[in-house]
Chain A
């Protein structure tokens, strides 16, 4: 039971961290609340399903191909539908929700509302600290953590990362400093959607697919981003761990906990916000940005 709790927490925490950091990135740089973000996660799962079962591809190529496809879809919808509307914040909010609904309905039309599943990448078990754990879990956690670390490195150590962080702070000044902010926003969208798609691809073998699977993670991701402090990557990662742990504990320890896990996580978020209104790691300076 203890290992179950630990493994579930780790998987959920790393999935949430992947989704939340991407959401946070695109929010910071392009200033859009992209409510379609977790829909990319759902899309990746379905693409893998179709590539493996319909086209008969291997799981690994299917994963890579579906991540690429999701990135293309995300970048196209950003350039065509979202970016031209940037000054109309409210309209962008609705367009992203509607976009998520379009994706959901398309999947419903093509695959129906049945639960689908994807084969596992690796089989067998490994022994970690004397406990038998399914290899698939270990691989998933490892890959998710590796991708998170890579994104972190890109953001903190490279010229592109600096440009992304600068654009998130002040678009206009970044532009004056010679950064092509619209290109940088598009690249950020690509990174963020790739993160969402990778998360979806990696957990697809563990979870069941259904067209509405984006809605619950979306609420949790929003809670995590607020809890960690909007725009803070460190905050998003730590908040993911907190929310994943509280979710898992509620599910495992309380009767009918599965119904309560969302309520409990959001309760945690509201309590933290009451103590720190800008989240755990949010920075707030007096005056304008």
Chain B
């Protein structure tokens, strides 16, 4: 493909939609940011943001897409953090080995959590998953010789030699893994996940082996959450019981729902906004959590579907005929050429029967 065709393809796929252009712009800014600003504190906050964004996206994969609302996602994060930490300290393995190993243990944990959860539905499932990290926390305290109890395991090898290298490792991973997760949800497997969320019995009656796919979702989600757990322990150089706490379980839920559920990019965007915000609020340490929680409540009250759907609704419109998205400035659809009416404000103007109406059959 010659460069001009490549550019045209790129322009017709990315630049036509303000949403995708924004994503591209954010990625570029993050990639070149250290050229202008490399304060270690900024790099540290952003690296943690990237690590947690992977965690939030993994929650979205399981809960947003497959509808298995997990309130105990810390189990994958924590088990991988501890595994990486112990392998690094006890066996002296480098992060390049311990992080994938931690992710594999998290995949196994996906089976441990997933198999009992196959029998559970809806709220029972969410509330039951909440129990697993708490049980593991109990075990961590019980075997405190190995796990260090309250203090955790500390003194791990660093993720990279410098803050800057750690920044780029985390950034490349969040972009790469985010893209992989997005591709998974866009594939045939993603379609099956959707079907299971909407109606599991019907999906099963259509010949889909739903237990297998649900386990696959638990394992995939566990894998990505495990990677972020391993990254976290090596970045912080400590793995403690806080990685298994109820709050750690709630965090990806808060970020993802804030950003917009069932989209992967929503989870990442939510983390990108909320985590640095939380850090920024350190200027008022006493009121930090208070302001944070109050902001989340207020924002959700007015953007109930989350940040990204709200944003996309502002900059893009859906073609009434072919359901493709268009920039809000266009008058006709870029794919099928149908005229794009501005969505009428609720209650504005009298209703005209027959206008663009389709008779229900």
Touching chains A and B, CB distance < 8 Å: yes
Binding site for B on A (CB under 8 A): 27, 33, 81, 84-85, 87-88, 90-91, 93-95, 97-99, 101-102, 104-106, 108-109, 215, 218-219, 222-223, 225-226, 230, 256, 259-260, 262-264, 266-267, 269-270, 273-274, 277-279, 282
Query: Do A266 and B289 touch (CB < 8 A)?
Result: no
Main secondary structure of the interface of B (DSSP, over half): helix
Separation of A269 and B132 alpha carbons in the complex (Å)? 10
Residue in B132, B134, B139, B253 whose CB lies within 8 Å of A93: B253
Q: What is the CA–CA distance of A98 and B251 in the complex, to the nearest angstrom? A: 11
Is B116 in contact with A270, judged by CB distance below 8 angstroms?
yes
Select one of B134, B142, B287 contacting A105, CB under 8 A: B287
- Whether, in the assembled complex, B345 has its beta carbon less than 8 Å from a beta carbon of chain A, the answer is no
Q: List 15 A-B contacts (CB under 8 A).
A: A33-B123, A91-B300, A91-B304, A93-B253, A94-B300, A98-B254, A99-B293, A105-B287, A215-B246, A219-B130, A222-B127, A223-B130, A226-B128, A262-B138, A263-B139
Q: State the CA gap A256–B304 with chains docked (Å).
A: 44
Q: Is B141 an interface residue (CB 8 A)?
A: yes
B121-143 interface bits toward A, Cβ cutoff 8 Å, 1 = contact, 0 = none: 10110111011101111110110
B327–chain A nearest beta-carbon distance, Å: 27
Nearest residue, chain A, Cβ from B241: A259
| Residues of chain A contacted by B246 (CB below 8 angstroms) | 215, 218-219
- Determine the residue in chain A with the shortest Cβ distance to B117: A273
Bin chain B's interface residue count. Answer: 35 or more
- Binary A-proximity of B8-38 (CB < 8 A = 1, otherwise 0): 0000000000000000000000000000000
Complex contacts, A33 vs chain B, CB 8 Å: 123, 126
Contact of B134 among A88, A102, A226, A266 (CB under 8 A): A266
Knowing A91-B300, A263-B139, say if A273 contacts B258 (CB, 8 Å): no
Residues of chain B contacted by A267 (CB below 8 angstroms): 131, 135
| B189, CB-defined interface residue at 8 Å | no
Interface of B toward A, CB cutoff 8 Å: 116, 119-121, 123-124, 126-128, 130-132, 134-139, 141-142, 246, 250, 253-254, 257-258, 261, 286-287, 289-290, 292-294, 296-297, 300-301, 304-306
The minimal Cβ–Cβ distance linking A9 to chain B, given in whole angstroms, is 20
Q: How far is the CB of B222 from chain A (nearest CB, A)?
A: 17
A9 to B289, CA, bound (A): 34
Nearest to A94 among chain B residues (CB) is B257
- Report yes or no: A94 in contact with B305, Cβ–Cβ below 8 A: no
Contact A90 B289, beta carbon cutoff 8 Å? no
Of all chain B residues, which has the CB nearest A286? Answer: B201
Complex Cα distance, B253 from A85, in Å, reads: 17
B289 and A97 contacting across the interface, CB-CB below 8 Å: no
A23 to B123, CA, bound (A): 13
A95→B265 CA distance, assembly (Å): 21
Complex Cα–Cα for A264 and B138 (A): 8
User: A100: nearest residue on chain B (CB-CB)?
Assistant: B293
Are A263 and B134 in touch, CB under 8 angstroms?
Answer: yes
| Complex alpha-carbon distance, A262 and B132, angstroms | 11
Q: Are B120 and A277 in contact (CB under 8 A)?
A: yes
Name the CB-closest residue of B to A105. Answer: B290
A218 to B294, CA, bound (A): 20
CB distance from B204 to the nearest CB of A (A): 14
Q: Which of B121, B127, B137, B300 has the most CB of A within 10 A?
A: B127
Contacts of A109 on B, CB cut-off 8 Å? 286-287, 290
Q: How far is the CB of B164 from chain A (nearest CB, A)?
A: 34
In the bound assembly, the distance between CA atoms of A98 and B257 in angstroms comes to 12
Contact of B141 among A88, A105, A230, A256 (CB under 8 A): A256
Q: Which residues of B contact A223 (CB under 8 A)?
A: 127, 130-131
Max count, chain B CB within 10 A of own CB: residue among A85, A102, A215: A102
Given A260-B142, A266-B134, decide whether A98 and B121 contact each other with a Cβ distance below 8 A.
no
Most buried by B among A33, A264, A277: A277
Measured CB to CB, the closest approach of chain A to B172, in angstroms, equals 30
A108 CB contacts on chain B under 8 angstroms: 286
Q: Quick check: B128 and A102 within 8 Å, CB to CB?
A: no
A258 to chain B: closest residue by CB: B141
* A273, closest chain B residue (CB): B128
Residues of A within 8 A of B141 (CB): 256, 259-260
Contact between A269 and B254, CB atoms less than 8 A apart: no
How far, in angstroms, from A274 to B125 measured CA to CA in the complex?
Answer: 11
The answer to whether A260 and B287 touch across the interface, beta carbons within 8 angstroms, is no
Residues of A within 8 A of B296 (CB): 94-95, 98
A106→B291 CA distance, assembly (Å): 10
| A27 to B126 Cα, complex, angstroms | 14
Given contacts A81-B301, A85-B300, A219-B246, A270 and B128 within 8 Å (CB-CB)? yes
Cross-chain contact of B289 among A84, A87, A101, A215 (Cβ < 8 A) = A101
Q: Are A101 and B293 in contact (CB under 8 A)?
A: yes
